[in-house]
Amino acid sequence: MSRRDLGLLLLLTAAAAVLAAWTRPVDVREYAAYSRALLHPPWGWQWPREYPPVADAVFLLPRLLPLPYASAFVLAAVLALTGYWLVIPAPERGRFFLYAVLGSLSTLAARYDLAPALLTWVGVGAAARGRYRTAWAALVLGAALKLFPLALFPLLALQERRQAGRRAWGHLGAAMALTGLLLAFPLLWHPHDAGAAAWIRWLLRRPPQVGSAAAVLTALAGGRARFAFGAVAIIGPAWPALLPLALGLGLWGRAAWRLRRGTLAWEAAATAALSALLLASKVFSPQYLIWLLPLWARQPLRPWRVGVALITGLGWPWLYLPAVARMLHSPWLPVVGLLLPLNALRAVLLLPDAWGAEPAAAGARSLRAPGGVPLP
């Protein structure tokens, strides 16, 4: 590793650790509480309220270190980030550093999203090299921690079929079944325990969070800002959230179709699928950008990605936290006047990746590797 890359790593990890300590995230305190509950009786009856149950495995890891939980969590995140940094090529390091500093510096060491994001990166990279067992295993584990890698399952089956020349629908079915088992095992263990399904109810009942495209449209339809489900939400009619959902599903389908036809590279298709998911979701928390960072780093630098990162980094914590504090006195103007217009612009800047804006020729070269078998 060059001195430049070592300096970038030290700067990135130090800044992320300092910001994690400065913001004192509620999320890390929740991780500590969930891991503490799992270690005390009644065992097997206390699960995270808003995360899949397997996430408890990540929450437990900092307890292996002889430090206070918050410090141990930051150290674990820094170690994971350092491991990732050491194995990626130098060009990827520069792009990752830029995107992370602009968009995720305050969440990189303060959220557990780094774990499923790195597993997704492993899965995408393994598929690009034709190692499909590793790819499926990494994406299943990532989806069990946080659901977003599920959006890549059908695309991975298409990529395996096209590159390896074998039907992969059995692999897709097995991956879905195993992921479902990992997500639902507390319900199988205690079928009458309402707490085992709390995270599913949280997911379904949560209103549009201020960072999402759904929240922007709900606000335009007369919605009002409220603090709900641990975040600033826009409460209003339900139909506006259906519009970005339909758009996201359409863009995801387009990425799958182009991957099948060989006009979109695998990495670009994975990026398009996750970008479409973020457009469709009724929640866009700032840490969700971490999902995209390793995939962005694998591809050329693009100005719209810089814009998405910059808006996300500006929103959290510099605008969002003051808005929450001021909501006690003026619950509408801080959100509408600052956050919603910026988040609307971010949704627009996500469209090129969701559309699959990488050149078609590059996608064709990537998919026509030696041994690749084109679909009919």
How is the chain split into domains, by residue range?
1-110, 113-205, 206-376
d(CA 271, CA 293) in angstroms, rounded, equals: 10
- Tokens 């994406």 locate to 139
Angstrom distances, CA of residue 33 to CA of 4, 88, 279: 39, 34, 31
Q: How confident is the model at residue 323 (pLDDT cuts 50, 70, 90)?
A: low
Q: How confident is the model at residue 243 (pLDDT cuts 50, 70, 90)?
A: very high
d(CA 251, CA 258) in angstroms, rounded, equals: 11
Check residue 25 and give left, alpha or beta (phi > 0: left; psi -120 to 50: alpha).
beta
Using CA of residue 182, residue 186, residue 191, residue 197, what is the dihedral sign?
Answer: negative
Using CA of residue 285, residue 290, residue 291, residue 293, what is the dihedral sign?
Answer: positive
d(CA 52, CA 181) in angstroms, rounded, equals: 11
d(CA 39, CA 289) in angstroms, rounded, equals: 31
Measured CA angle at 119 (ends 252, 88), to 5 deg: 105
> How high is the pLDDT of residue 231?
83
Angstrom distances, CA of residue 88 to CA of 71, 74, 297, 348: 26, 21, 9, 30
pLDDT of 330 above 70: no
Q: What is the per-residue pLDDT across 9-33, written as a single tens digit (0 to 9) for each?
A: 999 999 999 998 887 788 999 999 9
| 184 C-beta neighbours (distance < 10 Å), count | 16
Rg (CA), the chain: 20
d(CA 376, CA 374) in angstroms, rounded, equals: 6
Q: What is the per-residue pLDDT across 91-123, written as a single tens digit (0 to 9) for each?
A: 899 999 999 999 999 999 999 999 999 999 999
Find out whether 81 and 105 touch, Cβ atoms under 8 Å: no
The whole-chain average pLDDT of the chain stands at: 88
Cβ contacts of residue 238 below 8 Å, gap of 6+? none
Pick from 44-58, 271-285, 361-375: least confident: 361-375
pLDDT greater at residue 53 or residue 187:
53
φ, ψ of residue 167 in degrees (nearest 5): -70, 135
> How high is the pLDDT of residue 187?
76
> How high is the pLDDT of residue 152?
98
d(CA 276, CA 155) in angstroms, rounded, equals: 13
Closest C-alpha to 255, from 126, 10, 192, 247: 247
